[in-house]
Amino acid sequence: METVFPQTLRYPLFDIIWDYLKTLTGVLIGLTGLFYGAENLFSQILFGSIFLLFGFYGIQNYKQQITRILLDQEGVEIRAFSRQKLRWDDIEEIDLRYYGRPSKKGEESSGTNREKHQSSSQKEKGVIRLVLKGKKGKISCDSGLCGFRYLVWCSTQIMKHHKPLLDPHTVGNMLDMGFDPEGHSPKPDSLESGFLKPGQK
C-alpha cells in the first residue's frame, strides 16, 4: 500500500523490565519452596508448578522483548523466535478484540467490544489484540506495542484496498479507537500505543 511508510515497531522496554521483575520473584519463590519447604509431594507439586509457571512467563517476556514488527509498502512482518511475513493483499481476515477484567457486577468482557456507555478509563484496564490472518499464516500483537494504533490504522487501509473479512466486533473496536473501518481516518503517530486517540480522555 502506497500510504504505508517503512516502520519498525517494538514493545516498550520499561514494561518488559517490570514483567521480568515479576518473573524473577515468582521463580525465586518456586525455587525456595522446592529447596527448603517441599517436605511432601503436595508441596513439591505446588512450588514446582509456581517455578514452571513463572519460568514460562519469563520466556514469553523474552519473546516480547525481541519481537519486532516491520511495516512497508509490501506487507507486515513479525520477528521473534521465528519470522512470519504477510503481504497486504494476502490478508484475508482482520480480528481486533478487547480483553478486559470482569466488571464489578460480574459481567464478562471476553473479547467483544464493550458497551458504548462504558468509560475509556475502564477500557484501558484490559488489552486489545490485533490478529492479521492470511493463507500463509497469521500475525498477532497487542495494545502494549509502541505503534499499535498505527498498525490498526494500516489494517483499515487494507480494508479500503483489498476488502478482507471483518466481523462486527472488529468493526466496533475500530470505531471505539477512533478509526473508520473503511480506511478514511487520518494517519496517527507511528509510535503511539494504547487505546485512545491523541488528546482523548
What is the pLDDT at residue 43? 82
Checking if the pLDDT of 64 tops 90, the result is no
Element (H, E) at 87: strand 83-87
- Domain holding 146, by residue range, is 73-176
Of 27-31, 110-114, 125-129, the least confident: 110-114
Is 142 among the domain residues? Answer: yes
Q: Enter the pTM of the model.
A: 0.75
**How far is CA 138 from each of CA 134, 182, 201, rounded to the nearest angstrom?**
6, 21, 33
- Work out the average pLDDT over 64-73: 91
The answer to whether residues 36 and 120 belong to one domain is no
Tens digits of per-residue pLDDT, 142-190? 988 888 999 999 988 887 777 788 889 999 999 988 898 888 888 887 7
The answer to whether residues 58 and 95 belong to one domain is no
What is the pLDDT at residue 111? 46
Checking if the pLDDT of 130 tops 60, the result is yes
Higher pLDDT, 190 or 124: 190
Is 7 among the domain residues? Answer: no
Is 117 among the domain residues? Answer: yes
38 pLDDT band, cuts 50/70/90, is low
What does the block give as the cell for 37?
519447604
Count how many domains the chain has: 2
Share of the chain above pLDDT 70, in %: 80
The answer to whether residues 49 and 88 belong to one domain is no
The answer to whether residues 113 and 42 belong to one domain is no
What is the pLDDT at residue 116? 42
Higher pLDDT, 138 or 39: 138
Checking if the pLDDT of 17 tops 90, the result is no
Average model confidence (pLDDT) across the chain: 80
The answer to whether residues 57 and 101 belong to one domain is no
Is 53 among the domain residues? Answer: yes
Is 195 among the domain residues? Answer: no
What is the pLDDT at residue 1? 64
The answer to whether residues 100 and 84 belong to one domain is yes
Residue (of 112, 100, 143) closest to 151 by Cα position: 143
Of 26-30, 88-92, 192-196, the least confident: 192-196
Taking only Cα atoms into account, the Rg of the chain, rounded to an integer number of angstroms, comes to 20
Contact yes or no for 144/119 (Cβ under 8 A)? no
Is 185 among the domain residues? Answer: no
Checking if the pLDDT of 191 tops 70, the result is no
